[in-house]
Chains A and B, each alone.
Chain A
């Protein structure tokens, strides 16, 4: 850990980026309707909450009131559906060509 206060102007790429900044590299055509529905009643009983750590797009955020889910930045991998211990997630692919749009990968 550096304790130096002489902060040299660092380029943006020189330190690990936050997920929200990394996701700026991706393109979506966001659906008006969510393709994933979370049953928050079940989330209240979940101790592990693996979705908060393992959803690669960070769609599941832990707040004071429990899980907050947003589908907009979803990369459609399906991880949340598979890992949810209480099967609280109704998961579908987006309709009509909506969702993430990969160019390389």
Chain B
């Protein structure tokens, strides 16, 4: 059971992992006429996938033009909310967007849809197979091994995800460290479509993406998220792991992480949105913060292309997170590189290097470097607890005066003084923040 079922022993391309990047590469390669094997460790399609909840559509439409009509889209995000929370107090900004750029979806369903398309296009698909090793010969990837079974390919596409066991075993990347990694913990709360539409004031196909900062994480650097599905809410927390360890070490955090998410679920400001809801699912997944440090040295090696999370292609700015569209797009670039190699004399390293070049000249790479300072700032424990706190204090002084109300200026100056932040610090730090996020 540990090995591969009876299959042809040689493929043009083997893709390890049927998430968004692997499925996209498989789909496009199969359409281009390649003999493709897509290998997934899960029992069914998509059943190991977990993310926050929102997908940006435009890069995905380049691979799947039928996305809007056919994909299992829960709701299009038309409202963006950002909240800062301190205790029971909260400040919320809401932006009503006009364009439908992103949607909420269950990732298991979305990847199921993508990998079925790949299968329909002619990719051979095996599930329940965990790959132990990408096999190298003379410095070139020549196939994969699962248990005793070896299958050969001209090109291996590594779409294994954030836990890069295979790349680590090859020595291509270092052992995963907590420095550029965050833990996402998520609950799916069934509330009913009518409840969502009335409590968030939405039309039937519209949805909300909501980012929460402040002490919702009990001071641990990170934040909360809420996304509206058709009849359920995805909510959870993202916690920066390096800082979390530091907090535990310094005795500043001594609870189980599940307690934090449950306190979020019972927070008086958020609870009314999922009143009486039952938890349909609980799960967790790692995510990348600081993609530029997480990336492998190269995206292409002899016989090997690295895509999706494994390649570090995930943007986290603190208020937007883009992993699925980046994964799909990198799958597209990988498929194009394989095609280029075939049309230009073979799958040589020289030819496959076009993938590396195209990733580096893509919008993704540019965006990741443009925002590279953001994760550091967004995870700065002082910055991220002080500023929400200052804003909350300003609001308190403006709105909760029983007899007198402060002017905005006085409220701000008092709040800065109480938080021991000088007006010039505020300006320079705010500038630094605005520049990178």
Contacts and interface: CB of A to CB of B under 8 A. Distances in A.
Interface of A: 11, 13, 15-17, 19, 22-23, 25-26, 29, 47-50, 52-58, 75-79, 81-83, 85, 87, 91-105
B258 A58 contact: yes
B283 A100 contact: yes
A20 B355 CA distance: 45
Contact of A13 (B165, B175, B278): B278
- Determine which residue in B175, B183, B265 has the highest number of CB atoms from chain A within 10 A of its CB, and name it: B183
Contacts of B372: none
10 contacts: A13-B276, A23-B282, A49-B248, A56-B183, A95-B1, A97-B127, A98-B43, A100-B47, A101-B44, A101-B47
B232 A104 contact: yes
Contacts of B249: 47-48, 50
A77 B248 contact: no
A96 B128 contact: yes
Contacts of A49: 248
A20 to B, nearest CB: 10
Interface string B224-260: 0000010010100001010011001100011111110
Given A93-B163, A97-B43, 4 more contacts: A77-B285, A83-B244, A102-B48, A105-B51
Contacts of B279: 17, 22, 25
B186 interface: yes
A53 B255 contact: yes
Contacts of B185: 56
B286 A102 contact: no
Contact of B283 (A29, A87, A92, A102): A102
A105 B106 contact: yes
A102 B241 contact: no
B177 interface: yes
A83 B245 CA distance: 7
Nearest to B253: A53
B252 to A, nearest CB: 11
A78 B163 contact: yes
A26 B277 contact: no
B367 interface: no
B121 interface: no
A102 B79 CA distance: 27
Q: Interface size bucket, B side?
A: 35 or more
Interface of B: 1-2, 41-44, 46-51, 106-109, 127-130, 162-163, 165, 175-178, 181, 183, 185-188, 229, 232, 234, 239, 241, 244-245, 248-249, 253-259, 262-263, 265-266, 276-286
A92 B165 contact: yes
A94 B43 CA distance: 11
Contacts of A98: 43
A50 B239 CA distance: 13
A102 B248 contact: no
Nearest to A57: B284
Contacts of B48: 76, 99-100, 102
A23 B133 CA distance: 32
Contact of A104 (B106, B128, B165, B244): B106
Contact of B186 (A29, A94, A97, A105): A105
Contacts of A78: 162-163, 176, 286
B391 to A, nearest CB: 27
A65 B281 CA distance: 32
B266 A53 contact: no
A16 B283 contact: no
A13 B277 contact: yes
Contact of B248 (A15, A48, A95): A48
Nearest to A78: B163
A25 B163 CA distance: 25
A80 B52 CA distance: 20
A45 B304 CA distance: 40
Given A19-B256, A48-B245, A93-B130, A104 B41 contact: no
B262 A17 contact: yes
Nearest to A48: B249
Contacts of A95: 1-2, 130
Given A57-B284, A93-B165, A79 B183 contact: yes
